[in-house]
Structure 1
């Protein structure tokens, strides 16, 4: 859950393209105007450096936003994205701070008002857009605003001292707001992810449910190797009701949890097991190179489930029937595959064969074992 919250907070950084662009344009236009009006080379250099710095941080946002939005983004990838964002953010803040301090050493005074507007606008934008990551937001605000505060305070004019005091108060208030907002956001994101996880998990076994199975299927189909085969296995437990009748429902529930654990342990990385309801389970086997792999998994699942269970002092043995359906990835449809696998399961249970296959979706040339 902690990694999930972290990933969501990093995603928020890459949704700041519009305010970043606005601030960048404001900086470049303001310093270009000041340089043009005064003919000051230093201000022209600030404008040029601002253009380069802004281009760099906008490029970071554009380049990273697709990865940040990816459904399979993990904490390691999020850390890399956050570091790239932070570096680009800090360098712009440093440039803004030094440029603002430089302006306060010059005349005319109206440019000082424009600079204060830039600093206040930057602080507000950071608090609103990057506030969920305080370790980036607060140092950036300090780096950008403090040099201007010092430069204003050093001028021998009380109005500048008041301005410095007001900017200091705004910086302190903005930092406090960032910390408070970050704490609330962490709780809200954690709560949302918890609800989403619960909505996608079977309460009893903690296996993915049908909704999670559908999402997994859709996401994996999009990136699958089109030359491999997809297998969907449907299983249910034989004579599960007598277990409940003889030992009670709590023992039956423990048995279902034990079965779920064995199903999970029997899978390869990249495959998934889900509980469809009652004593019915489904397994999706991805990227199989031959139909023999699917048959092998079906028999392995039967063997694993058939091993005796020790539950609260009771030794319980139970068997399962497996029906599976095969198809090339190009024609994969989860509902159709589940329907065909369920038909094969019905045959396996009623004939006593234990395992049956439905390969009606497979081209003749793809049926080699």
Structure 2
């Protein structure tokens, strides 16, 4: 994550998804802009009667309504699930397309207005362009391509139309339009950069709050959140593995705490490399670790994972020029997800790991007396 902050404004997947989700904050501005397009468009059509004015009014109003519907749907989607990158891309495309249609409608309405000799309509067209550009620059700048493109679609034709009107006042107005287009581009970039920096910092803080800084594994807080997020299907098995390192104190005493920390970091790396979704590896504290195995189709899967953990972590480590081998004492337990309690399961797994340590290390397990592992519904 630090790299994402240091490299200027580069978007990681999480930053991208967060920025796209910010597009759901545009309901009020879109509603106001839709009503403004409708009011100015109808006034201009009533005053001037141009077909292009009515076309721009209808398309802008309908697109604004459609954008409100998309934004509401996007909000509901965000509230019910964590969006994937592909879903965020689709939401961004939907917002972008409707934004471009609204911008084109505003550009057509304002451009057409300057082809008529009615200064009252010119005033309204000017207010419409400035209001839209300011609103877009503030609200949609989290997606700078959409914001910048929309401002240019609405602003460039209007600027040219005002310039071609032919008198000094409109030349000045066209120059002001051009200057504000440049300023709007700078505002878009500034808002985007600020938002990206803030989101990166927030995500980094959230990451640090849920991860162990030494090993890079999740911490106990993240384990609790992951456990709480699991479904509660009564006939689904969950397994919790708890283990600690045999002889870790001797490593610290012989080589020093710096080497001990490096060994812990190496163990964390090995766990990350060998742990596959949806299983979660956690450093509980000191040399104590836990594994959450949330999907166990058959009890043998829990035993296979336990054996894999012990075998992988028992291989020698090359630390500070020394080859170090560490033992593992692991205990695990299983429970039905509908009645599983994390603290209770960890207490049982800890008890089994202590029993394994007393027996010289390796693997032990303990299950609640009420759990029938012969139930056929556990089979794959």
**TM-score, with structure 1 as normaliser:** 0.89
Match of 1:364 in 2: 372
Match of 2:6 in 1: none
Alpha-carbon distance in structure 2 between the residues aligned to 1:173 and 1:103: 24
**Residue aligned with 1:307, SS:** coil
**Residue aligned with 2:25, SS:** coil
Flag structure 2 segments of 5+ consecutive residues without an equivalent.
2-10
Contact between 2:219 and 2:284, CA under 8 Å: does it hold in 1?
yes
Is residue 58 of structure 2 the alignment partner of residue 61 of structure 1?
A: no
1:74-223 aligned at under 5 Å gives the runs 74-219=84-229, 221-222=230-231
**2:321 aligned residue (313, 323, 332):** 313
Pair 336,361 (structure 1): closer, same or farther in 2 beyond 3 Å? farther
Question: CA RMSD for the aligned pairs?
Answer: 2.6
**1:285 aligned residue (268, 284, 293):** 293
Deviation per CA, 1:11-54, whole angstroms, max 9, x where unpaired?
22232222122211221232134334555544333322222222
Alpha-carbon distance in structure 2 between the residues aligned to 1:7 and 1:56: 22
Deviation per CA, 1:305-349, whole angstroms, max 9, x where unpaired?
222323233232221111222122222333332233223323333
**Residue aligned with 1:345, SS:** helix
Contact between 1:14 and 1:68, CA under 8 Å: does it hold in 2?
no
**1:44 aligned residue (54, 60, 81):** 54
Post-superposition shift, 1:238? Answer: 1.6
Match of 1:259 in 2: 267
Post-superposition shift, 1:214? Answer: 2.5
Match of 2:8 in 1: none
Alpha-carbon distance in structure 2 between the residues aligned to 1:225 and 1:31: 56
Match of 2:36 in 1: 26
Aligned residue pair count = 367
Match of 2:4 in 1: none
Alpha-carbon distance in structure 2 between the residues aligned to 1:69 and 1:179: 28
**2:335 aligned residue (305, 308, 327):** 327
Pair 160,283 (structure 1): closer, same or farther in 2 beyond 3 Å? same
Greater mean alpha carbon deviation, residues 228-237 or residues 187-196: 187-196
Greater mean alpha carbon deviation, residues 2-11 or residues 344-353: 344-353
Deviation per CA, 1:195-249, whole angstroms, max 9, x where unpaired?
3222222111111112222233333x14x76643111111111221111112222
Alpha-carbon distance in structure 1 between the residues aligned to 2:268 and 2:292: 14
Contact between 1:344 and 1:358, CA under 8 Å: does it hold in 2?
yes
Alpha-carbon distance in structure 2 between the residues aligned to 1:325 and 1:24: 59
Match of 1:345 in 2: 353
Post-superposition shift, 1:69? Answer: 6.0
Contact between 1:238 and 1:321, CA under 8 Å: does it hold in 2?
yes
Flag structure 1 segments of 5+ consecutive residues without an equivalent.
none
Contact between 2:67 and 2:99, CA under 8 Å: does it hold in 1?
yes
Is residue 215 of structure 2 the alignment partner of residue 242 of structure 1?
A: no
**TM-score, with structure 2 as normaliser:** 0.87
Alpha-carbon distance in structure 1 between the residues aligned to 2:214 and 2:58: 62
Contact between 1:205 and 1:257, CA under 8 Å: does it hold in 2?
yes
**Residue aligned with 1:315, SS:** strand
Greater mean alpha carbon deviation, residues 284-293 or residues 69-78: 69-78
Alpha-carbon distance in structure 2 between the residues aligned to 1:229 and 1:93: 54
**1:355 aligned residue (343, 358, 363):** 363
